[in-house]
Amino acid sequence: MIRLAVTLRIYKIAMRITQYVLPVIVGAMSGMILITLGQKGIYIIYPAPANTDFYDSDSLAQYIKLLPLNAFILFLINYAICSFLAGIISTLVAKRESIRPPLVVGFVLTLSGLYYIFTMPQPGWYSLATMFAFMPFAYLGYLVARKKAVSTE
């Protein structure tokens, strides 16, 4: 009897992990990968000077200061689209039943945006807009991918 209780407890824990933790990990990682790929595309459109080292924060900060307004707008669009896709992915991995994973994914992406705000110089309006680019679009991704309520009429 004890063995059955332990097995059921392990099963419940595994189900909770697949319902909440796995969708958050998959959604957040896919969102960050998509954001990185989008940024690389923007760097192709607005190439950095030849001496820019993307792994050196000072060199990257100098490049960011040279970027035009259009580049920052593209970055915001990239964040919104990637957050939307991450919300969809986390909702699908969670079997379209829970709102928690996409909201946590939006929160994780917002935290990564906060890190970027504090480590790289950027315009104030862009920093503020960045904070509103992740959570609402991850939620919108949930709304698109969630299960529709079945009408009993």
E strand or H helix at 89: helix 69-93
Query: What pLDDT, on the 0 to 100 scale, is given for residue 151?
Result: 47
Residue 115 maps to a domain: yes
Cβ(127)–Cβ(117) under 8 Å?
yes
pLDDT digits (tens, 9 = 90+) for 104-145: 999 999 999 999 888 888 888 999 999 999 999 999 999 999
Instruction: Please check whether residue 151 lies inside any domain of the structure.
Output: no
Neighbours of 8 (CB within 10 A): 10
Number of domains in the chain: 1
Q: What pLDDT does residue 107 have?
A: 96
What is the per-residue pLDDT for 150?
A: 46
pLDDT at 83: 97
Residue 90 lies in a domain: yes
**Residue 1 has what pLDDT?**
67
For residues 50 and 40, the answer to whether their CB atoms sit within 8 Å is: no
Domain span including residue 59? 2-145
pTM confidence score: 0.83
10-residue mean pLDDT profile of the chain (153 residues): values are 71 72 92 95 90 83 89 96 96 87 94 89 90 94 79 49
